[in-house]
Amino acid sequence: MGSNAEVLLLAHGSRSPDYAVACKAFLDDWLRYSGTHARFCFLEQCEPLLEDVLKGSAAKFRVVVILPLLLNAGMHLRQDIPDRLAGFRRHHPETDICFTDGLTDEGVIAEALHGRAIEIHANMKSIILLTHGSRQNGIREYVERLADMLAQRAGAEVHLAFSGYGDPIFADVLAQQMGRGHVAIVPHFLFPGGWMQQVQTDMDTFKHAHSGIDLALAKPLGAHPCTLRLLQQQLNSVRNPKNRH
């Protein structure tokens, strides 16, 4: 990107203290990987918010590129971000603001999920893929395809569980894992947050009630090499005006 452009990493936001630490680490890894300076901004629950950062960016840069750190093409990508940017553009027509697709490439994300799974056990026979879910049409089908791809890569059974919108919930899927030995919980999340605290509570409760099962929680996707590669591809795509939103 030229000197008259700024790159913003747009994340959802969380009140969890671990979330801010993870975002800082991600930013450092992104700079080492890409050599491109960027700043974080958030949709909610964290500061600085998207609109506040854009105000400062519009005063200094002719082009602002927004890379959404979102794993599902849900309401935020389909409506929330476009609506918020449309409002901002009306007041700052001189600034070229574009945003890319989220981190939703099925093949790349399935590769990253598999990478996180084998970090905790190379021959896991049962995996719980934990995702937030969404009320948006098509999101369940998307994560089901991710689960199928992960199963093919890992050669393991993959059971889908939802922490937000959707069934079955994580605790119910855990109850189905008796007798499976080693079980990996692989989160379809970029960063830690409130979901991670609930997962740990559910795991502790289950292990207290049932012996003979080994539960291991993988790290969030974060700055996995696949994630960074996909983000770099998104940044490269804005060089083609046809790909701009």
Sketch the domain layout of the chain as residue ranges: 5-103+223-243, 106-217
* Per-residue model confidence (pLDDT) at position 240: 58
Q: Is 3.40.720.10 the CATH classification of the domain at 106-217?
A: no
Q: Residue 173 has which token pair? A: 């899927």
Per-residue pLDDT of the chain (245 residues; tens, 9 = 90+): 556 789 999 999 999 999 999 999 999 999 999 999 999 999 999 999 999 999 999 889 999 999 999 999 888 888 899 999 999 999 889 899 999 989 999 999 999 999 999 999 777 789 999 999 888 888 999 999 999 999 999 999 999 999 988 999 999 999 888 766 788 999 999 999 989 988 999 998 888 887 778 889 999 999 999 999 999 999 998 865 554 55
Whether 5-103+223-243 and 106-217 share one fold: the answer is yes
Q: How far is CA 239 from CA 25, 99, 149, in A?
A: 27, 12, 30
| Helix ranges restricted to H, the chain | 17-34, 50-60, 75, 81-91, 106-120, 139-154, 170-174, 194-209, 225-237
Quote the CA–CA distance of 137 and 218 in Å, as a whole number: 28
Tell me which residue has tokens 């099925």. Answer: 106
Class of the CATH-defined domain 5-103+223-243:
alpha beta
Q: Is 194 exposed, middle or buried (0-12, 13-18, 19+ CB in 10 A)?
A: middle
* Per-residue model confidence (pLDDT) at position 243: 46
Quote the CA–CA distance of 163 and 145 in Å, as a whole number: 18
Q: How far is CA 186 from CA 63, 128, 182, in A?
A: 37, 6, 13
Q: Which of 23, 81, 14 is nearest to 44 (CA)?
A: 14
Peptide bond into 168 cis (omega under 30): yes
